[in-house]
Amino acid sequence: MAKDARDSWGSPMEFVLACVSYAVGLGNVWRFPYLCQMHGGGGFLIPYLIMLVLEGVPLFYLELAIGQKMRLGSIGAWTAISPYLGGVGLASVVTSLYLCLYYNIINAWSFWYLFHSFQSVLPWAVCPANSNLTGPLEECEKATPTQYFFYRETLNISPSIEENGGLHMGQALCFLLAWVITYLFIVRGIKSTGKVVYFTATFPYVVMLIYLIRGMTLHGALNGVKYMFTPKMEELANPTTWINAATQIFFSLGLGFGSLIAFASYNQYHNNFERQAIIVSFINSGTSIFSAIVTFSIYGFKATVNYETCLERYISFGAAMAVEGAGLAFIVYSEAIKNMPLSQLWSVLYFVMLLLLGMGSMLGNITAIITPLRDFKVVARISDEVFNGGVCLLCLLLGLGFTTTSGNYWFTMFNDYGATFSLLFVVLIEVIAVSYIYGIRRFEKDIEDMLGHRPNWYWKIMWAGVSPLLLICLFVFYVVNYIQGGTPTYQAWNKDLGKSEQTEYPVFGQAFIGLLLVSSVSCIPLTALYVFCQRKKHAQQHKQQLTVNTVAA
């Protein structure tokens, strides 16, 4: 019956575009260019591409295979692999939930900047006058107009995480809009998502191409590109370079959230996902490199024209880019845009691109929550529209906390701790479970069933050996870093000095970080324990019944 049959993509193209739209996100535009120049320009591409081959593509393939074979969301799929591993799926759902809560805030900021671009003078280009009109506002003068616009007008940020004002109404409205649009895109499940991704996956490339042409025609652009591509080979000896490359590949592909499993579960059984996995992974990395070229051509222009000497000033500016969080990238990019002629047009284009990238990723994030939950019979009875609306409403209400005056600090906390450590753990368990608990042989046979041929030796070596080893290294590195780092800190905006200061998290903040980490990771052992107890109970009951029957007989 049509009602019981699973939804499916309109065409394999929709699936590929959905994966591209999900994987290509804000990190490709912001984090990769920063990592590139921090680790020796062109030389960084070597560890980056090596990690793509060793870790990125095999793990991507693995998740797609599981989803397409089991035809269930992450919870159902992992329960099918082994009943004790249902917790892996649950951990993915919890992590996706955290991500959904805070990710749409970035889209809200993009909307805010987009709407403010429709003015004759961009509001972040000049400082507003103070109350007696004698000069610019103090806070704005001490910082820069772009920083002021972000911290004061966009966020109205409080001095620390402990102090909280109320909601920032403008932010809250943009946040509401972001969720309403997300709902519109997923209202009918993948039937609607499949149509939307034609646009969200392709239009950002149009904008990036326009920016590339614009960037290349700017004076001094080639200096920036030359700088970026001049390899500094000595960086390759630094282990941090390799770790950062591995981490970037890992997070950029969006592994472990369950989105890929969810998307693949709607595929036709014999869909050739092997080719699609390779295509999407390479498109993702290619986009990172492409956006790095665009970014550096624009920086080259800025540095050459305004500062005459060198990129160093912008390198230090850019060095702060990823370290201090997504927000700083709004400041850095809007700074570059305001100096271009026709800056309103460029601003609109840029923020539309950010929105499409962000929305595309949100589609994957929210599908990762909805698909596994819909596998439960209790939920399947509720109609698509109502259930999806319920999930969006819940995330909207919980996420409103990020639009308060201290909201950006909570956002940074979620961004740094909500999905990093737990994902590494989840994917490590995933790859070990498939390779050793489910068994490579069984997995091979499943793939042969779906594709018609077995995966060759390269894939098997990666799944069984290389990728788990790499993940263990990353995992150990993160743990050591976390312990060595001492008390976790965040950047608090000091309005009197007009800059950010490193501040330690208060006790409740640290406790919350611990809660974030534990709540997702603990799903795995707790579920295993729960299933174990349930089985023991059933076994006991079954035994009792047998004895009763024999007695009766």
Choose between 377 and 453: whose C-beta lies nearer to other proteins: 377
Handedness of CA 185, 186, 192, 196 (dihedral sign): positive
CA angle 160, 358, 505 (to 5 degrees): 20
Q: How far apart are CA 510 and CA 520, in angstroms?
A: 16
171 lies in the site for other proteins, by CB under 8 A = no
Q: Is 506 helix (H, G, I), strand (E, B) or coil?
A: coil
Burial readout 103-128 (b: 16 or more C-beta within 10 A, e: otherwise): bbbbbbbbbbbbebbeeeebbbbebe
Q: How far apart are CA 423 and CA 409, in angstroms?
A: 22
CB contact at 8 A, 408 and 324: no
Compute φ and ψ for 492, nearest 5 degrees: -100, 140
115 is an interface residue for other proteins by CB under 8 A: yes
The letter for the amino acid at 318 is G
Nearest C-alpha neighbor of 163 from the set 517, 509, 496, 512:
509
Q: Interface with other proteins by CB under 8 A: which range of 41-49, 108-116, 289-297, 486-494? A: 108-116
By CB under 8 A, is residue 116 in contact with other proteins? yes
* Residue among 12, 83, 170, 498 that touches other proteins (CB under 8 A): 170
Structure tokens at 194: 């499949």
Positive/negative CA dihedral, 486, 491, 493, 497:
positive
Q: Could you write out the DSSP letters of every residue in 181-232?
A: HHHHHHTTTHHHHHHHHHHHHHHHHHHHHHHHHHHHHSTTHHHHHHHHHS--
Position 159 contacts other proteins (CB under 8 A): no
Binding mask of the shown chain, residues 372 to 411, with x at each position contacting other proteins by CB under 8 A: -------------x--------------------------
* Residue 198 makes contact with other proteins by CB under 8 A: no
Asked if residues 287 and 28 have their Cβ atoms less than 8 Å apart, the reply is yes
Q: Which is nearer to other proteins, 22 or 179 (CB)?
A: 179
Residue 297, H or E segment: helix 273-302
Rounded (to 5) percent helix, strand, coil in the chain: 75, 5, 20
Among 53, 187, 319, 398, binds other proteins (CB under 8 A): 187
Reading the block at residue 221, the tokens are 């652009």
Q: How far is the CB of 307 from other proteins (least distance, A)?
A: 23
Largest CA distance in the chain: 101
| Interface residue with other proteins, options 15, 44, 48, 111 (CB under 8 A) | 111
489, amino acid identity: T
With respect to other proteins, which residue has the nearer C-beta, 130 or 339?
Answer: 130
> Given candidates 10, 128, 165, 514, which one binds other proteins under the rule CB under 8 A?
128
Whether the CA torsion 507, 508, 512, 514 is positive or negative: it is positive
Residue 184 as a binder of other proteins (CB under 8 A): the answer is yes
Contact call for residues 80 and 72 (beta carbons, < 8 A): yes
Interacting span for other proteins (CB under 8 A) from 67-75, 111-119, 140-148, 243-251 = 111-119
Number of residues in the chain: 553
**Contact flag: residue 436 with other proteins (CB under 8 A):** no
Span of 31-39, 77-85, 113-121, 461-469 interacting with other proteins by CB under 8 A: 113-121
Q: Which of 6, 10, 11, 135 binds other proteins (CB under 8 A)?
A: 135
Told to check if 183 binds other proteins by CB under 8 A, we report yes
Report, in Å, the least distance between residue 380 CB and other proteins. 16
Determine, following the binding rule CB under 8 A, whether residue 517 of this chain makes contact with other proteins. no
Min CB(528)–other proteins separation in Å: 36
Applying CB under 8 A, the span of 132-140, 193-201, 212-220, 329-337 interacting with other proteins comes to 132-140
Which C-beta is closer to other proteins: that of 98 or that of 183? 183
Binding piece for other proteins, criterion CB under 8 A, among 187-195, 269-277, 456-464, 481-489? 187-195
Please state the φ and ψ torsions of residue 381, each to the nearest 5 degrees: -70, -30
Contact positions with other proteins (CB under 8 A) in 26-55: none
The correct pick among 37, 74, 146, 192 for binding other proteins (CB under 8 A) is 192
Q: Which of 6, 129, 270, 526 binds other proteins (CB under 8 A)?
A: 129
User: How many residues belong to the site for other proteins (CB under 8 A)?
Assistant: 25
Rule CB under 8 A: choose which of 6, 10, 119, 436 binds other proteins: 119
Least spacing, CB of residue 173 vs other proteins, in Å: 6
Interacting residue with other proteins among 60, 98, 112, 290 (CB under 8 A): 112
Quick one: 127 or 474, whose CB is closer to other proteins? Answer: 127
The three-state secondary structure class of 375 is coil
Instruction: Answer for the pair 68, 267: CB distance below 8 angstroms, yes or no.
Output: yes
Q: Taking the complex as a whole, how short is the minimal distance between the CB of residue 128 and other proteins, in angstroms? A: 6
Comparing CB distances to other proteins, the nearer of 100 and 122 is 122
Beta-carbon neighbour count of residue 375 at 10 Å?
Answer: 21
Question: Is 476 in contact with 246 (CB distance < 8 Å)?
Answer: no
Q: Which stretch binds other proteins (CB under 8 A): 139-147, 186-194, 240-248, 290-298?
A: 186-194
Asked if 352 touches other proteins (CB under 8 A), the answer is no
Question: Which residue of 49, 125, 173, 319 would you call a contact of other proteins, by CB under 8 A?
Answer: 173
Residues of this chain that bind other proteins (CB under 8 A):
1, 111-112, 114-116, 118-119, 128-129, 133-135, 170, 173-174, 177, 180-181, 183-184, 187-188, 192, 385
